[in-house]
């Protein structure tokens, strides 16, 4: 059933949700690498990431949970991504970087809080869209100096993208949401 969900994403016009693992030797893109997304290599129980849902109209549209556009530094709370209902809740943050990819598309970071038993997981996806080109979404490796792929921004952990001029830090995370 995860294959059916993956192929449904393509039928809806959604591209693969990739990951990018980094080490001291450099970074490698993995076409199906997002284990938290059906359009990647995620299980049938996984949701599409916020960039994919926004492009489909399932987040940030009237009658659907909100995406909060972040335009400056601050502390933001987001509800867990998975529960059904609470359509008025904020389920993701969309952070404009003011930078563009090699095709000229604007780059954004999407911040999500995914529920986990007894805890939460904060994920960052880097996405670019526009100029009549397909959406490009990549799950970010938040510990590029380690040998292991680590996409979860744990409480107290900080991730910075100096090229984009953004820094993210999780203060607290639970199965109901994150700050």
Exposure string (b/e) for 30-49, b if CB count within 10 Å is 16 or more? beebbbbbbbbbbeeebbbb
Give the global pTM. 0.85
Q: Write down the pLDDT at residue 171.
A: 93
Say which residues have a Cβ less than 8 Å from residue 68's Cβ, sequence separation at least 6.
76, 78, 90, 92, 93, 94
117 exposure class (CB count in 10 Å sphere: 0-12, 13-18, 19+): exposed
| Residue 28 CB partners (closer than 8 Å, separation 6+) | 20, 21, 22
**pLDDT at residue 18, as a whole number:** 80
Is residue 77 a contact partner of residue 53, using CB atoms and an 8 Å limit?
Answer: no
pLDDT value of residue 69: 93
- Intervals of the chain under pLDDT 70: 1-2, 5-6, 9-10, 42-45, 83-86, 116-120, 131
SS3 of residue 84 by DSSP: coil
pLDDT value, residue 83:
67
CB 92 within 8 A of CB 84: no
pLDDT digits (tens, 9 = 90+) for 65-108: 889 999 889 999 988 877 666 677 888 999 999 988 888 888 99
pLDDT for res 2:
66
The structure tokens listed for 16 are 């693969």
């Amino acid at each position: 059933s995860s294959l059916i969900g993956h192929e449904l994403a393509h039928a809806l016009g959604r591209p693969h949700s990739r990951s990018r693992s980094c080490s001291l030797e450099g970074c490698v893109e993995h076409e199906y690498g997002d284990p938290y997304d059906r359009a990647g290599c995620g299980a049938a129980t996984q949701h599409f990431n916020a960039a994919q849902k926004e492009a489909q109209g399932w987040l940030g549209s009237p009658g659907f949970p909100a995406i909060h556009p972040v335009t400056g530094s601050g502390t933001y709370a987001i509800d867990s991504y998975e529960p059904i209902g609470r359509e008025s809740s904020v389920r993701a943050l969309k952070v404009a970087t003011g930078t563009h990819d090699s095709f000229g598309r604007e780059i954004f970071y999407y911040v999500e809080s995914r529920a986990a038993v007894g805890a939460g997981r904060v994920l960052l996806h880097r996405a670019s869209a526009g100029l009549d080109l397909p959406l490009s979404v990549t799950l970010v490796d938040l510990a590029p100096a380690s040998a292991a792929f680590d996409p979860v921004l744990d409480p107290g952990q900080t991730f910075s993208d100096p090229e984009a001029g953004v820094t993210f830090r999780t203060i607290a995370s639970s199965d109901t949401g994150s700050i």
